[in-house]
Amino acid sequence: MSSRPLEVLIIDENVVRATILEDGLRDAGDIVVHHIRDMDGLLARVAAINPDVILIDLENPSRDTLEQMFQVSRWAKRPIAMFVDKSDSDSVQAAIDAGVSAYVVDGLRRERVKSVLDVTISRFHVFNRLHEELSEARTALEERKLIEQAKGIVMKQKHVTEPAAYALLRRAAMNEGRKVAEIARSLVTAAALFDKDPT
Amino acid sequence: MKDTVIAGFVPLVDAAPLIAAHEKGFAREAGLKLRLLRQSSWASLRDHLNLGHLDCGHTLGPLPIATVLGIGRVRAPLIVPLVLSRGGNAITVSTTLAARMRAVTGKSIYGPGDSGRALARVVDASTQALTLGMVYPYSGHNFEIRYWLAAAGIHPDKDVRLVAIPPPLMVESLRAGQVDGFCVGEPWNSVAVHQGFGEIVATKADIFPRGIEKVLAVPARAERDGKRLQALIGSLHRAALWCDDRENTAELADILSQRDYLNLPAAMIAQSLAGEIPGVRSRPDDFLYFGRDGAGRPRVEEALWLFAQMRRWGQLPDSPELEAAVRGVFRPDLFDAAVGESAANESISACDGIQFDGGSVREYLEHFSLSTPFVIATDSGV
């Protein structure tokens, strides 16, 4: 059995995720990593790279395009979707949970595929965590801004101090069983509606 | 009995029966809680269905057959207890290609016959192969465009290049010149015409009258809870009839236009539902329908007919075992039990007059001079 390096192709419009994955795969041994970022002329480029394994986001709409290419009998190297063997169902489940799908050339040795898949799954998880933290931070920042705006409105309307304005918002939130940020959002929206002087 | 049913759908006009069953209360009346999950591709819908994340899915007619037979080694036991829609697709060519077709014939290029003949002359005169788009290898669209081409003497695997493109990207591909034409479901044909990039030359109804399009696929294990499955089929059938009623078209279009569903203008969706497709000359009522005239009944002959199309284009080998397996995929018995009507069988017809009556697939395939042989993929042995 030859031991030429495994050609792995990552198809991902998300450059950050692709980079995280690429780094992980480079450390995993005898692997050549390719990356296609935009979907223009996808088929010609996949054919030119002629990969052994293709990794692509489970929700990428271009999966249908890829699967058609694999079905065409003119292309000899026909990778198949990974959801195949019952024996692989654990790693398939893990891959789906991580949001990745893989296409693997028929006849590839199982342990070679497994190491690629394991790295991919863990790297997708790293990315997902990063993404979650980022969006949480973004939401927190947005909420703080909203609360600041709402406090300003209350202070102006009721002629109260900043702490008193916040106390009012908090009490309203508790009474309605909602978050302070939600109350702040309704207040800001309402104020915008009544504002005769659009800024 | 678990009463929540998780259904996957792809945002297209023909997902209407599932969406209406949820929005108009047909599922609730049948004691079901329907949860709809939008899918980004047919591949993704198939995977989620096979892994048990979805209880059922709005999918392409040939896809459950391909999955049961394990083409590409994706194999799972699925059954089809209901047809969700008939018709709804069309073939659009770029305005440039339409002009070339018109120039070579000097007359109308509408209809499968006239457009096919015109295209054949353009293909003969071209030095470069035309590229045509469709949505998926195991789709009605693939078989419609292939049938249309082959009926005009154009070999779909030799004389042109066929590529799969996600429906929402189809019009952009035409505009950018990446494809010269395509076969896709509505509203994308109308969009291409309205934006001035394309001209419709034939509809699915023109090529395959009453042609089967989307089906409801469920895992075979769903049969174990027969009552729940029956409730699901019954409620979807009632929803389909509601969708067919022209009085409801405006309301249905409003529902489908919502962000969680198609997220497209309601007026555009209403035209697709009513069959008012720009440039189309066939009867609007035949363009797309869901439940009327026994449309929902998944007939075994239709499964065999789809199998024959797959065979013709080299997706499958000639095998009695496979043919026997196909007979079990479409389940008219489940439909009849739930809906309580059984329609008379009729032959499946096509624009060239060749019919299939559910008999021998091999004999049916002898009608066609153009086809593609099945080739087994080579083992790379890395």
Q: What is the CATH number of the domain that holds B156?
A: 3.40.190.10
Contact between chains at A83 and B381 (C-beta distance less than 8 A): no
Task: Using a pLDDT cut of 70, give the percent of chain A over it.
Answer: 86
B43, B74, B380 member nearest A84 (Cβ): B74
> Do B96 and B76 belong together in one domain?
no
Backbone dihedral region for residue A156 (phi beyond 0: left; psi -120 to 50: alpha; all else: beta): alpha
> How many Cβ contacts (< 8 angstroms) between chains A and B?
107
Closest approach of A136 to chain B, Cα-based (Å): 23
Q: Does an H or E element contain B163, and which?
A: strand B160-164
- The token pair at A171 is 């009490």
**Domain A6-132: which CATH number of 3.30.460, 3.40.50, 3.90.350, 1.10.10:** 3.40.50
| Contacts of B363 by beta carbon, 8 Å cutoff, 6+ apart | none
Chain A's closest residue to B374, CA to CA, is A73
Closest approach of A89 to chain B, Cα-based (Å): 9
> Do B50 and B184 belong together in one domain?
no
Q: Which of A50, A68, A101 to mutate to test the interface with B (most CBs of B within 10 A)?
A: A68
pLDDT tens per residue, range B167-195: 888 999 999 999 999 999 998 999 999 99
B136, B372, B382 member nearest A64 (Cβ): B136
The pLDDT, as a whole number, for residue A149 is 93
Tell whether B379 is covered by a domain.
no
CB-based contact (8 Å) between A65 and chain B? yes
Tell whether B168 is covered by a domain.
yes
A6, A64, A74 member nearest B43 (Cβ): A64
> Do B79 and B94 belong together in one domain?
no
Task: Using a pLDDT cut of 90, give the percent of chain A over it.
Answer: 20
Confidence of residue B1 (pLDDT cuts 50, 70, 90): very low
Q: Is the pLDDT of residue B379 over 50?
A: no
Closest approach of B173 to chain A, Cα-based (Å): 9
Tell whether B143 is covered by a domain.
yes
The amino acid at residue A33 is: V
> Do B136 and B283 belong together in one domain?
no
CB-based contact (8 Å) between B309 and chain A? no
- Average pLDDT value for chain B: 93
Phi, psi at residue B209, to the nearest 5°? Answer: -55, 135
The pLDDT, as a whole number, for residue B377 is 54
Chain A's closest residue to B52, CA to CA, is A93
Q: Which of B309, B375, B382 to mutate to test the interface with A (most CBs of A within 10 A)?
A: B382
Using an 8 Å Cβ cutoff, are B315 and B359 in contact?
no
> Do B28 and B172 belong together in one domain?
no
CB atoms within 10 A of CB B37: 14
Q: Which of A77, A83, A85, A96 to mutate to test the interface with B (most CBs of B within 10 A)?
A: A83
pLDDT tens per residue, range B35-59: 999 998 998 899 889 888 899 999 9
CB within 8 Å of chain B, chain A residues 8-47: 40-41, 43
Contact between chains at A77 and B380 (C-beta distance less than 8 A): yes
CB atoms within 10 A of CB A59: 13
SS3 content of chain B, % helix, strand, coil (to 5): 45, 15, 35
Q: Which domain holds residue B25?
A: 4-87+211-339
The pLDDT, as a whole number, for residue B112 is 96
Tell whether B370 is covered by a domain.
no
The pLDDT, as a whole number, for residue B61 is 97
Contact between chains at A58 and B44 (C-beta distance less than 8 A): yes
pLDDT tens per residue, range A46-95: 888 888 889 999 888 888 888 888 776 555 566 676 654 545 667 777 77
d(CA B182, CA B196): 15
Contact between chains at A68 and B164 (C-beta distance less than 8 A): yes
Tell whether B12 is covered by a domain.
yes
CB-based contact (8 Å) between B168 and chain A? yes
Contact between chains at A4 and B382 (C-beta distance less than 8 A): yes
Of B152, B182, B207, the position where a domain reaches its end is B207
Confidence of residue A45 (pLDDT cuts 50, 70, 90): confident
Q: Which of A52, A73, A97 to mutate to test the interface with B (most CBs of B within 10 A)?
A: A73
The amino acid at residue B309 is: Q
B40, B137, B378 member nearest A71 (Cβ): B137
Residues of B in contact with A57 (CB under 8 A): none
Q: Is the pLDDT of residue B330 over 60?
A: yes
Residues of A in contact with B74 (CB under 8 A): 80-81, 83-84
CB within 8 Å of chain B, chain A residues 70-89: 70-74, 76-78, 80-81, 83-84
At residue B318, the 3 state secondary structure works out as: coil
Contact between chains at A65 and B42 (C-beta distance less than 8 A): no
Of B207, B237, B266, the position where a domain reaches its end is B207
d(CA B224, CA B1): 11
Tell me which of B74 and B380 has the higher pLDDT.
B74
- The token pair at B381 is 């042995």
What was the ipTM of the complex prediction? Answer: 0.79
Residues of B in contact with A63 (CB under 8 A): 41, 43-44
Per DSSP bridges, beta strands A53-57 and A100-105 are: antiparallel
Contact between chains at A107 and B136 (C-beta distance less than 8 A): no
One-character DSSP codes across B262-285: T-S-HHHHHHHHHT--TT--S-HH
d(CA B276, CA B282): 10
The domain segmentation of chain A, as residue ranges, is 6-132, 138-194
pLDDT tens per residue, range A105-138: 777 776 777 788 888 888 888 888 888 888 888 8
The pLDDT, as a whole number, for residue B106 is 86
> Do B266 and B315 belong together in one domain?
yes
The pLDDT, as a whole number, for residue B263 is 92
Residues of B in contact with A76 (CB under 8 A): 377-378
> Do B140 and B220 belong together in one domain?
no
d(CA B243, CA B23): 12
Using an 8 Å Cβ cutoff, are B86 and B38 in contact?
no
> Which range among A9-23, A102-116, B162-176, B238-252 has the greatest average pLDDT?
B238-252
| Contacts of B280 by beta carbon, 8 Å cutoff, 6+ apart | B90, B110, B200, B203, B287
Number of domains in chain B: 2
Chain B's closest residue to A78, CA to CA, is B377
Residues of A in contact with B380 (CB under 8 A): 52, 77, 105-108
> Do B150 and B71 belong together in one domain?
no
Check if CATH label 1.10.10.10 holds for domain A138-194.
yes
pLDDT tens per residue, range B114-138: 999 999 999 999 999 999 999 999 9
> Do B171 and B114 belong together in one domain?
yes
Rounded to an integer, what is the distance from CA B139 to the centroid of its chain? Answer: 6
Exposure letters B115-153 (e unless 16+ CB within 10 A, then b):
bbbbbbebbeeeeeebbbbbbbbbbbbbbbbbbbbbbbe
> Do B233 and B201 belong together in one domain?
no
Confidence of residue A30 (pLDDT cuts 50, 70, 90): confident
Closest approach of A2 to chain B, Cα-based (Å): 7
Tell me which of A191 and B230 has the higher pLDDT.
B230
